[in-house]
Amino acid sequence: MVKDIATPARTKEILEKHGFSFKKSLGQNFLIDPNILKNIIYHAGIDKRSGVIEIGPGIGALTEHIARAAGKVVAYEIDDRLLPVLEDTLSPYTNVKVIHQDILDVDLNAAIEEHFSDVDEVTVVANLPYYVTTPIIMKFLMGKVPIERMVIMMQHEVADRITAVPGTKAYGSLSIAIQYYMDAEVAMVVPRTVFMPQPNVESAVLRLSRKTEPPASVIDEEFLFKVARGSFVQRRKTILNNLQTSLPQGKAKKDLILEALSKASIDSVRRGETLSIEEFANLSNALYEEFGASEK
């Protein structure tokens, strides 16, 4: 039986063997608790018919648990110093391929075609560096990448923002952008003590599952997200005030914005945080001809 990588003693042993030191700029925090990893695999719902994309495998702690459960794992690592470490720690697992590349530079649709043509479904499982969590998630969603699920360790505060509902403090443009595509739930909260080194913030595992269809029909998804972002420029201001600030020539076109709000049955004195995704969709459709189409 191969000893788990994710214990404090084994992690220290691996780091010392390879003379590895953490790079703060890459947000490296390695998991040292096998039970947390088993829980992540459980929430990912993967089996031997699954292909898994992992981002930032580190020294392979999560990777080996994925490899034991899944049919195939492709892990993207940006830090070239970790490549020999991973070659060593993952040597017992023949179903893992490590690629030295920044996930934000990867053509994800082409990668899935190349590496996962022989699996039933593809899932993303990752302990993500906090500084780059949102761009990575949005790259998968906006790129229409054919994945069923994303199970991701992230900063607890960001997970709360992603899962937030209208009328709450955490609800914002990030909640709208992700919930447009995925059902989002916090699967578990993770204490700092299970990482080496310990991060300064609490973590959570977020489970995102692909919606069969979006909650509303929109003319242009990018414009929907632009309107949503613009509606939260200053949270305490009304939606009318924020749209006047954020839309091109918004102040001069106040009457057109009021007309669009009326068409979408939205009171102009409401705040952005009270609008549902459906209401944002109706509003973006009503604004599109005047403020969105011209940008195309």
For the annotated binding site for S-adenosyl-L-methionine, the residues are 29, 31, 56, 77, 102, 127
Beta strands 203-210; 149-155: pairing state: antiparallel
Buried b (16+ CB within 10 A) or exposed e, 106-131: bebeebbeebbeebebbbbbbbbbbe
For residues 91 and 183, what is the distance between their CA atoms, to the nearest angstrom?
36
Break the chain down into helix, strand, coil percent, rounded to 5.
45, 20, 35
Backbone φ and ψ for 151, nearest 5 degrees, come out as -120, 110
In residues, how long is the chain? 296
Integer Cα distance of 120 and 214 in angstroms: 23
245 within 8 A of 83, measured Cβ to Cβ: no
Strand (E) or helix (H) holding 203: strand 203-210
Q: Please give the biggest Cα pair distance in the chain.
A: 71
Q: Annotated binding site, which residues?
A: 29, 31, 56, 77, 102, 127
> Is the separation of the CB atoms in 276 and 224 below 8 Å?
no
Question: CA–CA separation, 134 vs 176, rounded Å?
Answer: 13
